[in-house]
Structure 1
């Protein structure tokens, strides 16, 4: 196996943050090979990440650069490659994309894989980092949640129709029609798209694509033997060709190839992590 002592916890946010924050997570992993490679797939969320450890992420120029102690994984439509070694500790805050801007405004660019953050988050990271190094994740989370609650008190919430549309897209697994949603909310399609893009950084249709894609990866990780034809129908794609085309656009590979990577990891008990992690024994530092 590539790593041992893997510890993952997911927790619900404070009730006052429930409209913006989906969950908190803490993650600790000790890699036992010289490096481990991770494929970060596009997701229908925005993540604020505090990181402690030796990890590097690939930029658009193909070079690996050290991960900063705090960064945002924003809305994106392509995978990213990350390489880590040794002990890694991560504390994450997962936001609904339509509500992240209200809490992170002027603190982060919400598009991209590893975006820089503002002075407020950098100052917070200077307090959170030492706690992560000590393994005091609960104390670190209390600091982060306190910062978010302070932001919440002065934040401008997203427009009601935007949140309602986002929640309906999630509930329908990306299947809700934008035209029908707009009509239910008393808006034209153009009005809904404009409000949604202003709040979330992407259109309702783009979010629906990401939600459907995320569900596809979850299903393939749970059952890599699933029929692609049946899965395409279940997930609301027009046909198998549409499913393959969309999946390839987000990952650079077909769903069949992704399922094959999941199967190759399953005998080692790592199937649930799917094709997101690829073990490497060589030094890949850039």
Structure 2
């Protein structure tokens, strides 16, 4: 298990280099409830890439790619939820591709403990038997398009596995309602479940406290508004994202992104509506 090492946020801009291109691809329709994104990242030059926190979990693979687009040297990794900025080292002629799971669904889809994976990357994850065959097929891919299609198959299998697990959890609808409120910025707690109990459920399934989840969703909303077009005033962004005021937004951007809203970091906003 590898711990994610965070850099000093004050050096975020000095560390960040435009070394890769991140793309989100079409997900299988049957996996949308569980899988937030089927993504790829092609690394064009040696350097460091900023990864902004969003509280999600990822399962992804990496390959070397030659001039003819052939993939080799596959490796699989599982990335746990994080609430802090970190950087990853990228090597030229490398491609990363994988699945990012919807908030709270990752542990159910991968059969792991979210709390044990907080701020960690597992380079040799033990996957549930239901996913072994489809993940092995991904790693055997020889081209980008082949790998992309096979990741779609993993998404479907992981979604089926996750739904079977949550069907046995009577608290799951309430958890999803609370996480939806966090994404929307309403901050509501489900009436049918005591607040203290709900906070325990969120910590178990997301790996982070409900307060951290709400703050991360607010940060990602603000980041998308900041990068949107046409540009809008910072005070309006703070209001629309759910911050108390612009100073509150400035503090949380520095805490979670290592930058101020006036100097946005060149990294993708990963949370979607």
Equivalent residue for 2:176, pick from 147, 163, 170:
163
The alignment of Structure 1 onto Structure 2 pairs a total of residues equal to 238
Does residue 187 of structure 2 align to residue 177 of structure 1? yes
2:25, 2:144 → 1: CA distance?
Answer: 19
2:82, 2:190 → 1: CA distance?
Answer: 24
Over 3 Å counting, the alpha-carbon distance change for 1:86 and 1:169 in structure 2 is same
Equivalent residue for 1:256, pick from 262, 266, 272:
262
**CA displacement at 1:257 relative to structure 2:** 2.7
Over 3 Å counting, the alpha-carbon distance change for 1:151 and 1:132 in structure 2 is farther
Alignment check: 8 A CA contact 1:44 1:214 kept: no
Over 3 Å counting, the alpha-carbon distance change for 1:124 and 1:112 in structure 2 is farther
Secondary structure of the corresponding residue to residue 212 of structure 2? helix
Over 3 Å counting, the alpha-carbon distance change for 1:150 and 1:89 in structure 2 is same
1:85, 1:14 → 2: CA distance?
Answer: 33
What is the aligned partner in structure 1 of residue 35 from structure 2? 21
**CA displacement at 1:96 relative to structure 2:** 1.7
Does residue 104 of structure 2 align to residue 98 of structure 1? yes
2:230, 2:259 → 1: CA distance?
Answer: 15
Alignment check: 8 A CA contact 1:13 1:23 kept: no
When the two structures are superposed, what TM-score results if normalisation uses the length of structure 1?
A: 0.70
**CA displacement at 1:118 relative to structure 2:** 1.0
Going by fraction, where is helix more abundant, 1 or 2?
Answer: 1
Does residue 46 of structure 2 align to residue 38 of structure 1? no
Secondary structure of the corresponding residue to residue 263 of structure 2? helix
Over 3 Å counting, the alpha-carbon distance change for 1:11 and 1:210 in structure 2 is same
C-alpha deviations, 1:40-61, integer Å up to 9, x for none?
Answer: 111142221122138xxxxxxx
Equivalent residue for 1:118, pick from 112, 126, 132:
126
What is the aligned partner in structure 2 of residue 141 from structure 1? 151
Alignment check: 8 A CA contact 1:45 1:74 kept: yes
1:225, 1:162 → 2: CA distance?
Answer: 34
2:194, 2:206 → 1: CA distance?
Answer: 18
Secondary structure of the corresponding residue to residue 114 of structure 1? strand
What is the aligned partner in structure 2 of residue 128 from structure 1? 138
Cα RMSD of the aligned pairs, angstroms, is 3.3
